[in-house]
Amino acid sequence: KAGVTQTPRYLIKTRGQQVTLSCSPISGHRSVSWYQQTPGQGLQFLFEYFSETQRNKGNFPGRFSGRQFSNSRSEMNVSTLELGDSALYLCASSFASGIGEQYFGPGTRLTVT
Amino acid sequence: LAKTTQPISMDSYEGQEVNITCSHNNIATNDYITWYQQFPSQGPRFIIQGYKTKVTNEVASLFIPADRKSSTLSLPRVSLSDTAVYYCLVGDDFGNEKLTFGTGTRLTIIP
């Protein structure tokens, strides 16, 4: 079956702009989690959505938000971009919430200039 | 949330068995232990998961002692393609906790 897909794969934005990233989970998976990965901070959890409800949220400012649609597809939005938001944003899907096996997408590489 | 501690880096030669240990002293009764592998510019890939004793699959084994305060990922006969970062995670399957990957262990296989 098809894996997790993320669009776009690469993105360049300017400080102050906003950005929306999209994630399509594996068919049948209801949980979608988002992570930010940077060389300095490693892989950090942003939030998890399960059946359109946010289950957990990491320690990120309110500029980072997300949502999940009825077909389990998810979007994350970052408003008022800062240089420090430059990172690889990874989406992972799983059948259930929690520590069950997660399948990661290829990520979206965001560069903020 | 149980915190995990792993070695920052390890080197090994091709063909050897590699053991990476993860400490999780505050593991809770409902927590499972999961390991992921990540190559540069790719998302992590699930390797193995266990609750206690030993679990084995086609790529690795996971050893968990009775007190469950640590776990060891064992990779048999490593090759250059096993060079990656390995993460240990601890959490329950109820979805009540955010999953923390930690710093991981950077494994380098030497030819």
Looking at the predicted structure, is the pLDDT value of residue B82 above 90?
Answer: yes
pLDDT (average), residues B74-96: 88
Closest residue to B99, CB basis, from A4, A42, A45: A45
Could you report the per-residue pLDDT of A5-32, keeping only the tens digit for each? 999 999 999 999 999 999 999 999 999 9
Looking at the predicted structure, is the pLDDT value of residue B2 above 60?
Answer: no
- Answer whether A45 sits within 8 Å of B98, measured CB to CB: yes
Closest to A77 measured CA to CA, from A18, A14, A17: A18
Could you report the per-residue pLDDT of A28-71, keeping only the tens digit for each? 999 999 999 998 888 888 999 999 999 888 889 999 999 999 99
Looking at the predicted structure, is the pLDDT value of residue B74 above 80?
Answer: yes
State the Cα–Cα distance between residues A64 and A101, nearest whole angstrom.
25
Q: How confident is the model at residue B79 (pLDDT cuts 50, 70, 90)?
A: very high
Closest residue to B43, CB basis, from A31, A101, A104: A104
Mean predicted lDDT score pLDDT of chain B: 91
> Bigger pLDDT: A42 or A79?
A79
State the Cα–Cα distance between residues B8 and B98, nearest whole angstrom.
22
As to burial, measured by CB atoms within 10 angstroms (0-12 exposed, 13-18 middle, 19+ buried), residue B106 is middle
